[in-house]
Amino acid sequence: MDSKVAALRGTALRPVPVAVIGGAGYVGTITAAGLAHLGHLVRAFDVNEERIEMLRGGFCPFLEPDLPELLHEQQRSGRLVFTPSLPEALAEAAIVFVAVNTPRRSNGEADLSHVIEVALRLARQMNRHFVVAVKSTVPVGSHAAIRRVFERSGLREGSDYDLVATPEFLREGHAVSDFFFPDRVVVGADSADARAMVRELFEPLQAPILETTIENAQMIKYAANAFLAMRISFINEVANICERVGADVEVVAQGIGYDRRIGHDYLRPGVGFGGPCLPKDLEGLIRLSEDAGYEPYFLKAVLEKNQHQRREILAKVHALLGPSLYDRRIAVLGLTFKPNTSDVRNSTASVLVDRLVRRGAEVTSYDPGLEAADVEGRVVRNPYEAAADADLLLLATAWPQFRELDYGRIRTTMRSPNIVDAVNLLDPASMRRLGFTYLSVGRP
């Protein structure tokens, strides 16, 4: 465990009994383990009993650096308990964190059914005052739905419960570090006492704490992810221009990133943004805007550019293999939406595999974070096996391990020496010296 994280062990001003609902999910597990490490008494509830048993047995159901050690330590200490029983989770809790999933509907809006179900379950269990702190990403105004559920059960805000919005800003692959060393903590509530209770939980992290309204807190989450998506679409647009005018996007990104007003983060060209958060939250903000009577032209352009980037990558494949991919063998390295995760939800790499298969290609894939994946094509456990007899190698996720592969060996086993490096992981000159026909994104 990182020494800085270890130094935060037990630093809470006073132990607070906490329940985390959705505690076997990604955000819920990290929130539960993090709060327990600070010294709080955490009971994590989830309806997914299989995951609860995995966590109880010391197995983390997803890949996240440093999390297994943290879970083991906190369960051993007794500060963290995973349970399939909601009454057990709530028995002593003063604060209840809601961290259930809010998936995207087909029309782009957030599906609040899991949040509503939690509210219904809580309403049946409330026998004293709770602070209900929502970490799930929900649109502005959705707390009104929770209030209605509580009101229909005869519960009164202020006396039986108080609502708080405390959005999460965890990056998969860096979530443990992000929990303990956040850029900011946002606490939105109407009740000053409820804000103070939640603020106290996170004060040991010594991060800026922004106390505001529920609506502002919800909007901060959406706006932050929309801005990050915008940066990715922007640099991909610049990369495509660089290709056509003979410039190198890597140098351009470095040059503009030195500007303190811009910075270097999220200026890496590639396949575009994916994963469980950025696409969902951008589409959710678009739908929220439309429902409020505003046409978000700029946000829609960011989303369309992301779709266009996928087409650009596929065009590179066709540039090397021709208009027909029928009976062509393509090896894809990387299926997760980013390195150091096992998450293929809304993964651009997986979308590319699906489209290649639909165009007639025979696809073999490898990803260090996966043993199997719900994607088209064949998934193998070895990158060299994936590349054998391939007509083209497509790097679709920027796992650092892919830099260390023996590309000379790969070159000798491929049927045709073509590489499309869609994440700009490799050195173009080195690949060409090995005899590859090599294309990347925005680089000569």
How far apart (Å, rounded) are the C-alpha atoms in residues 334 and 394? 9
Burial zone of 109 (CB within 10 Å; 0-12 exposed, 13-18 middle, 19+ buried): middle
β-strand partners of 164? 133, 189
How far apart (Å, rounded) are the C-alpha atoms in residues 23 and 144? 23
How far apart (Å, rounded) are the C-alpha atoms in residues 145 and 134? 13
DSSP result, 176-206: HHHHHS-S-EEEEES-HHHHHHHHHHHGGG-
Give the rounded distance of the alpha carbon of 61 from its chain centre.
Answer: 15
Q: Which of 96, 123, 138, 277 is catalytic?
A: 277
Do residues 194 and 131 lie in contact, with contact meaning Cβ atoms separated by under 8 Å?
yes
| Position 378, amino acid | R
CA angle 19, 25, 27 (to 5 degrees): 75
How far apart (Å, rounded) are the C-alpha atoms in residues 430 and 186? 46
How far apart (Å, rounded) are the C-alpha atoms in residues 387 and 329? 9
Element (H, E) at 411: helix 407-413
How far apart (Å, rounded) are the C-alpha atoms in residues 421 and 297? 31
Q: Long-range contact list for 78-81, CB < 8 A, 24+ apart?
A: 79/36, 79/37, 79/39, 79/40, 79/41, 79/42, 80/32, 80/33, 80/36, 80/42, 80/44, 81/42, 81/43, 81/44
Residue 277 known to be catalytic: yes
Q: What are the residue numbers of the active site?
A: 277
